[in-house]
Amino acid sequence: MQYYVVCPRKLWLYSKQIGFETEHDRVIEGTLLHEKSYPRKDKELVIGDAVVDVIDGEYIQETKLSSKMRKADEWQLLYYLYLLKQRGIEKKGKIAYTKEKKVIEVELTEEKEKELKKKIAGIYRVIESESAPKFKKLPYCKSCAYYDFCFALEGEADAT
């Protein structure tokens, strides 16, 4: 869900096991934050292939470094809430932004659930596609693990 909201091209590449995530500085920083914030694995909740950082009372919580990708963070958490709801578990969500020392609440409303279902259908359209979505330069491309890959391919397209 996060990749779909941020960049469908990134989602497609990742779905085809074209991954640069493990060696990217921001991913490593996020992994270290997760391990430092939640050293005890018993707070994590696995829902299918999704892993929620913390389940605590009526809330599930995700921890992020900053709110630069707030929209994508919220949709990711809404997706987790949706997966829980499908299993008969009603929760609310929180996203903790550590650098900003800020916590926001997220709730799966009927309206958001309808939009979420559209996004899930969109995800399947992207990953089932024969080719990657067209390159679209976004403000956060430079901090993406796929930056060199996407821009190298675009450079080749421009040269032909």
- pTM equals 0.78
Domain extent, residue 118, equals 2-159
**β-pairing, 59-64 with 102-106?**
unpaired
Supply the pLDDT for residue 154.
61
DSSP state of 50: E
Looking up residue 52, the CATH number of its domain turns out to be 3.90.320.10
**Binned average pLDDT, 10 residues per bin, the chain of 160 residues:** 94 86 49 50 65 84 92 96 92 94 96 98 97 90 85 55
- Please state whether 56 falls in left (phi above 0), alpha (psi between -120 and 50) or beta: beta
Q: Which two tokens stand for residue 27?
A: 């991913």
DSSP one-letter code for 17: T
What is the reported pLDDT for 28? Answer: 45
Instruction: Name the residue among 160, 156, 101, 128 with its Cα closest to residue 8.
Output: 128
Q: 151: helix, coil or strand?
A: helix
What is the 3-state secondary structure of 97-147?
ECCCCEEEEECCCHHHHHHHHHHHHHHHHHHHCCCCCCCCCCCCHHHCCCH
Residue 31 token pair = 């992994």
Q: What is the pLDDT of residue 23?
A: 54
Tell me, what's the pLDDT at 157?
45
Pairing between strand 59-64 and 92-97? Answer: parallel
Number of domains in the chain: 1
C-alpha to C-alpha distance for 74 and 62, rounded to whole angstroms: 9
Can you give the pLDDT at residue 37? Answer: 52
